[in-house]
Amino acid sequence: MEIRTLTRAEEEIMRILWQLKKAFVKDILTEMPEPKPAYNTVSTIIRILERKEVVGYTAYGKTHEYYPLITEEEYKRHEMKQLMTNYFDNSLPNLVSFFVKDNDLKTKDLDEIMKLINDHKGE
């Protein structure tokens, strides 16, 4: 299954679903920050997420309990691949160079990155 990039509103709802594991629209609405969108707005976004095949549901009569069909980790992986492809020519050195040059990485940050690299060399 190919994961499609989500809008900001869709991502917000997915983050809530990943946290709650499963929820009714009213549960999702409760977790949303003020000003809360209308119930129908959340319901519409959920149906869009269904069409994108990232949300499933269990029906209880006319009520639906929704749950994620992809993990947060799968979505992050997809988005990072998109970022790498679209902005960094699929090059990790280009990505790291960008963060070093444009985001004022501190020596402590670079040390942490090197530790992560060294910890994963044996895997």
Structure tokens at 71: 């993990």
Question: Which pLDDT score, from 0 to 100, does residue 61 have?
Answer: 94
Among 87, 23, 80, 83, residue whose Cα is nearest residue 49: 23
Residue range 75-100: mean pLDDT, rounded: 84
Residue range 10-35: mean pLDDT, rounded: 96
Q: Which domains does the chain have, with CATH numbers?
A: 8-68 (1.10.10.10), 90-123 (no CATH)
Among 41, 39, 43, residue whose Cα is nearest residue 55: 43
pTM score, whole prediction: 0.78
* Cβ atoms 3, 70 nearer than 8 A: yes
Residues 25-54: pLDDT tens digits? 999 999 999 999 999 999 999 999 999 999
Triad 86, 91, 76: Cα angle to 5°: 60
